[in-house]
A and B are shown apart, each in its own frame.
Chain A
Amino acid sequence: QLQLQESGPGLVKPSETLSLTCTVSGGSISSSSYYWGWIRQPPGKGLEWIGSIYYSGSTYDNPSLKSRVTISVDTSKNQFSLKLSSVTAADTAVYYCARHCDIAVAAYNWFDPWGQGTLVTVSS
């Protein structure tokens, strides 16, 4: 059964860079059928897609995050990572990673399964 687990600091200072890693188990991140995505959810609010990456390293991200996003993949470790630069309090959220059935490689669009999520708070 495929499982994803987010890891990283729970507290980041304003203007610094948020860094998270997602470890995939029970399956290979090098599958040609899927992308791997990051989604976040501010406390008490809705969901926002951050970006997605293919095992080859091809990425794309949400234009609303104004080029602050870097997503990378390490196939040898079955992991992918997120860096979000110049964070502010507005970036405080639960960050989820998920397998992404992307329209670039499939006929549909969905995120499944999701990791349990990790709360990142931006505060000095």
Chain B
Amino acid sequence: EIVLTQSPGTLSLSPGERATLSCRASQSVSSSYLTWYQQKPGQAPRLLIYGASSRATGIPDRFSGSGSGTDFTLTISRLEPEDFAVYYCQQYGSSPQYTFGQGTKLEIK
């Protein structure tokens, strides 16, 4: 089973700042299968990025994804108040098996 480790666990930033969230896989992951979600309290997760770098429909261009192999990054260029949430990465591995990272909480500083 591929384990995804997200860092940091909590990221404290101010609106307008740049956020960089990391997702590291225990084995190499196909970029096509690396996905990012945003979850706000009391809500279902929302698809942000798929294929490591493709924005889902309706996602603002301040959100971008990058990476390959075992290291992937979600970047939010300029934080808006509505961006403070928990972010999860997710991948497909063999078995078949879909796994999620443990999440990064992005909080207002």
Q: What residues of chain A have their CB less than 8 Å away from a CB belonging to chain B?
A: 37, 46-49, 52, 60, 62-63, 96, 98, 101, 103-104, 107-117
Contacts and interface: CB of A to CB of B under 8 A. Distances in A.
B28 interface: no
Contacts, number: 70
Given A49-B97, A108-B50, 5 more contacts: A46-B101, A108-B35, A110-B90, A111-B37, A112-B46
13 contacts: A47-B100, A47-B103, A98-B44, A103-B32, A108-B32, A108-B33, A108-B54, A109-B91, A110-B35, A110-B90, A112-B46, A113-B47, A116-B43
Contacts of B75: none
Contact of A46 (B35, B47, B98, B100): B100
Give the residue among B35, B90, B96 with the most A Cβ atoms within 10 A.
B96
